[in-house]
Chain A
Amino acid sequence: MYKYLFGRLIGALGVIWGVATLSFVMVYLMPGDAARMYAGPRAPESTVQRIRVQWGLDQPLSIQYVRYLGRALQGDLGHSTRDNRAVLQAVTERLPATVQLALAGFCVELLFGIPLGILAALRPGSIIDQLATVIALIGISLPQFAVGLVALYVFGFLIPIFPLGGYGTPIHLVLPAIVLGIGGVAFYSRVLRNSMLEVMGEDYVRTARSKGLRSRTVLVRHVLRNAMMPVVTLAGLDLATLLGGVVVVEAVFGWPGIGLQAWTAIRNQDTPMIMGTVLFASIAVVLLNLSVDFLYTAIDPRIRLTK
């Protein structure tokens, strides 16, 4: 078990290193002059060159890369070229908001997606199943920025139940979480429905029913548990994506998360900040995937035995 864990951790570090390296190369190869962006078009070339030297941008790519890795291993992700703040500090400041929105949106997805998927699976072909499909399609089709703006206008302005965007209290979280979760509801409901239908056709489920077990017991202990695997996989990837920042929802609701920070960094060619947010997102993906793997073993004992 520990050997497995160690092996996976080493693999995870390798993935993080790979992502950091690839994104470093891509970002530095992007056309544009970050020093000129910072200094402004009216600054003399001598000032711009001084900034390049200060930031190490005058060095060959390989030297910049080695320095970056060395500093990153010591927890120094450099300074933003937009406002000169420490990247690590700037990213970690945004973490609470990002985690809150990601988890809230994730909960909305599960809260509505799971029951909808179960209902649809229990009554395949019925009106409920078709309604679930329609709701799912609408959820996927509606662009988040439009839903968000309409939601703010209706529930923040016309009928002011919620704040007009912003951050700080639980009530600020409600609308953005719902808007964020709506699209994901579709995926969870459809994946779970199809997975459940497959499992419900299995012999052991038929056996459980014929043994006289109550429907609820069959559903929870036999069907759902086995049908959850694809949902768990989806959930891991989904949460990782959410933790990487959701620019549209953050922008519409003024939610100070990492997505908005990354977008501002890209627009200003703020390379250290871009690298910082990419690194954070990749760490989130890797750790969540690791967690999902371990969750598999908890759900399905067969996986534990083969390991």
Chain B
Amino acid sequence: MRFIRMIAIVVVVAALMPSLASAQATNDKILHIIYSQDMRTSDPHIAYETETWPTSSLFYVGLVKMKDASTPMPALAESWTISPDGTTYTFKLRDGIKFSNGRLITTDDVRYSFMRLLDPKTAAPTAFMFASLVGADEFQSGKATDVSGIKIIDAKTIEFKTKTPVWSMMQRFALPPGFIVAKEGVEAAGTEFGRKPLGAGPYVLDKWTSGVQITGSRNPNYYEVGKPFFDGFDMQLSVEDSVGALKIENGEADIALNFVSNGDYPRLSADPVLSKRLLQLVASPNIDYVIINNNKPPFDKLQVRQAMNMAIDRDHLTKISNGRAVPIGGFLPPGVPGSNPDVKAPAYDPDGARKLLATAGFPNGFSTTMLSNVDPTDVSLAQGVISDLAAVGIKVDLQSIDEAQFLDVLNNKSADLNLVMTEWYMDYVDPSDNWEPLLQCGGSYNWAKYCNNDLEAMFQKANLTPLGDARWKAFSDFEVKVSEQVPNLFLEHRNNYYFTSNRLSIESDPGILLKFADAKLK
């Protein structure tokens, strides 16, 4: 009895005791961010992940930023002009802009930043975004010591010249590869620059403890007066997804850099209060799709690809994403400028698929393989597709391998590929970013080496059309033609969400994912 009484006292005291945990984040002016792993880097020229891009935007800023997917706004540059032929971009810097260490920013710093991005020694994974600059190829191959397409006009004016019109260029300037870094910071930090940032962004680094925490204070030299709203930020690292959701729910954290997981989404979206705190990502629109090796029989037959397309029950597949996905029929996610709302996935018709396969010479179907990485969503989607294909006689053997091996096979053994389950997140919201890497002849993600010269010619024509309605119309028509050829099985577009605290007001950025500089309390 004494023992039971003792236990009861302990439980009651514990329940009444204020938490010994870290203080609730309800009233302080610190932006509390959490992330599930260690942060790889904040170096904008090395960052290329959905967590490192917004992290680099805490410390850095570029010449422009994006108001929405197609409208750039002044940032470090107060104005710019684009030549009528779309090959020359001339920026004029604001007066008195400084790095966080107080030094004035000039066009020398802008030139330095882009040279660093393109320098092969930096090995920047996003250097391709500015490889269209005149002289970039020569510089990267070592034939030149300079990028002739970057020209300083004066201390405040700088010009960028591309070889051909690249109408998504302004969006690229707003992304981390276009962020301006301080040379002295790079040289002082060496290989640690990723953890010792020095830029002109809204915050300055206080401390970076690997795997634990990153903290920063407001940059007193930030170019936007009155911003950032918060006095500083505190990013906790290595916070497991489900635990992170709990932290945000109870106010310990304001936002997680991880998207809401498949497991948490149904609970959060169904709750009338918590669902209002889901922030939909407007950047990096995604498509989940199956690559088909059009060069290998039987996939070289259009009828076979069409039959496979008809055999897939996309409505059923979207259930795997717990309601976050919508079926697609084309290569562009819905909402992307140029995406054609009339291009829909074919109706689920297994009988029709079987008839088409018979017409193509496969009345009994055939056997093949599908490669996927071990990401649970990809594996689930692959299994869903395989099940649908099996129902029409196409027996698919799934091979799931880890990411490193997956990339190795895609890069080095692409001739052996039949089907590949994969996904794509756009780097910038322009339709060219879903064609050039995925389906253009020689595209960097065109693992199955798809090459259709007719479609390529149509793409080039659309891509040379300046920004505006004409460009979107051209891509809209292009999407119709692409979907007729069924180069891949475009399955769904998955919406991603951030979970935010009750007190945080923040918008998603169409380029760098989150507008940290503009975040404030409600």
Shortest Cβ distance from A160 into B: residue? B19
Shortest Cβ distance from B408 into A: residue? A32
| A111 interfacial contact with B, CB 8 Å | no
| A39 interfacial contact with B, CB 8 Å | yes
Which of A84, A253, A256 sits near B212, CB closer than 8 Å? Answer: A256
Which of A46, A84, A152 sits near B191, CB closer than 8 Å? Answer: A84
Shortest Cβ distance from B246 into A: residue? A157
Complex contact A83–B408 (CB within 8 A):
no
Complex contact A171–B20 (CB within 8 A):
yes
How would residues 11 to 44 of chain B score, 1 for a CB under 8 Å from any chain A CB and 0 otherwise? 0001101011110000000000000011011000
Which of B41, B192, B404 sits near A37, CB closer than 8 Å? Answer: B404
Task: Decide: A43 near B407, CB < 8 A? Known: A254-B237, A264-B38.
Answer: no
Complex contact B22–A256 (CB within 8 A):
no
Task: Decide: A254 near B19, CB < 8 A? Known: A31-B408, A51-B123, A83-B40.
Answer: no
How near does chain A come to B446, taking the closest CB pair, in angstroms? Answer: 10
How would residues 242 to 261 of chain B score, 1 for a CB under 8 Å from any chain A CB and 0 otherwise? 11001101101000000000
A253 to B246, CA, bound (A): 13
A132 to B121, CA, bound (A): 62
A192 to B94, CA, bound (A): 75
How near does chain B come to A147, taking the closest CB pair, in angstroms? Answer: 14
| A267 interfacial contact with B, CB 8 Å | yes
Q: State which residues 101-143 of B face A: CB under 8 Å.
A: 120-121, 123, 125-128, 131, 140-141
Interface size on A, residues (CB 8 A): 58
10 more A-B contacts (CB under 8 A) besides A93-B211, A261-B211?
A: A30-B404, A32-B405, A37-B403, A38-B125, A39-B123, A152-B243, A160-B19, A162-B19, A252-B240, A264-B38
B residues in contact with A37, CB < 8 Å: 403-404, 407
Shortest Cβ distance from A157 into B: residue? B246
Interface size on B, residues (CB 8 A): 57
| B187 interfacial contact with A, CB 8 Å | no
Q: Could you pull out 15 A-B pairs where Cβ atoms are within 8 angstroms?
A: A32-B405, A33-B404, A37-B407, A79-B191, A84-B191, A85-B191, A94-B211, A97-B211, A152-B246, A157-B246, A165-B240, A166-B239, A254-B239, A256-B38, A268-B403
A30 to B402, CA, bound (A): 11
| B471 interfacial contact with A, CB 8 Å | no
| B195 interfacial contact with A, CB 8 Å | yes
Complex contact A261–B38 (CB within 8 A):
yes
How would residues 38 to 61 of chain A score, 1 for a CB under 8 Å from any chain B CB and 0 otherwise? 111111101100110010000000
Which of B14, B15, B120, B247 sits near A164, CB closer than 8 Å? Answer: B247
B residues in contact with A104, CB < 8 Å: none
| B444 interfacial contact with A, CB 8 Å | yes
Which of B38, B120, B407 sits near A46, CB closer than 8 Å? Answer: B120
B residues in contact with A159, CB < 8 Å: 14-15
A195 to B488, CA, bound (A): 65
Shortest Cβ distance from B411 into A: residue? A36
A83 to B437, CA, bound (A): 25
A51 to B213, CA, bound (A): 29
A130 to B41, CA, bound (A): 53
Complex contact A161–B38 (CB within 8 A):
no
Q: State which residues 188-242 of B face A: CB under 8 Å.
A: 191-192, 194-195, 209-213, 236-240, 242
A residues in contact with B48, CB < 8 Å: 40
| A260 interfacial contact with B, CB 8 Å | yes
B residues in contact with A36, CB < 8 Å: 407-408, 411
Shortest Cβ distance from A269 into B: residue? B404
A residues in contact with B240, CB < 8 Å: 149, 165, 251-254
B residues in contact with A269, CB < 8 Å: 404
Complex contact B41–A83 (CB within 8 A):
yes
Complex contact B405–A85 (CB within 8 A):
no
A40 to B192, CA, bound (A): 20
A residues in contact with B121, CB < 8 Å: 50
How would residues 154 to 176 of chain A score, 1 for a CB under 8 Å from any chain B CB and 0 otherwise? 00110111111111100100000
Task: Decide: A256 near B246, CB < 8 A? Known: A33-B407, A83-B194, A269-B404.
Answer: no
A261 to B237, CA, bound (A): 12
| B445 interfacial contact with A, CB 8 Å | yes
Which of A41, A160, A167 sits near B444, CB closer than 8 Å? Answer: A41
Q: State which residues 232-275 of A face B: CB under 8 Å.
A: 250-256, 260-261, 264, 267-269
Complex contact B210–A90 (CB within 8 A):
yes
Q: State which residues 157-211 of A face B: CB under 8 Å.
A: 157, 159-168, 171
Complex contact B125–A39 (CB within 8 A):
yes
Q: State which residues 211-247 of A face B: CB under 8 Å.
A: none
| A107 interfacial contact with B, CB 8 Å | no
A residues in contact with B209, CB < 8 Å: 93, 256
Task: Decide: A157 near B250, CB < 8 A? Known: A42-B444, A264-B38.
Answer: yes
Complex contact A256–B238 (CB within 8 A):
yes
| A153 interfacial contact with B, CB 8 Å | yes
A residues in contact with B127, CB < 8 Å: 43, 47
Complex contact B194–A168 (CB within 8 A):
no
A residues in contact with B237, CB < 8 Å: 254, 256
The 4 closest A-B pairs by CB, nearest first: A256-B211, A40-B125, A32-B404, A163-B21
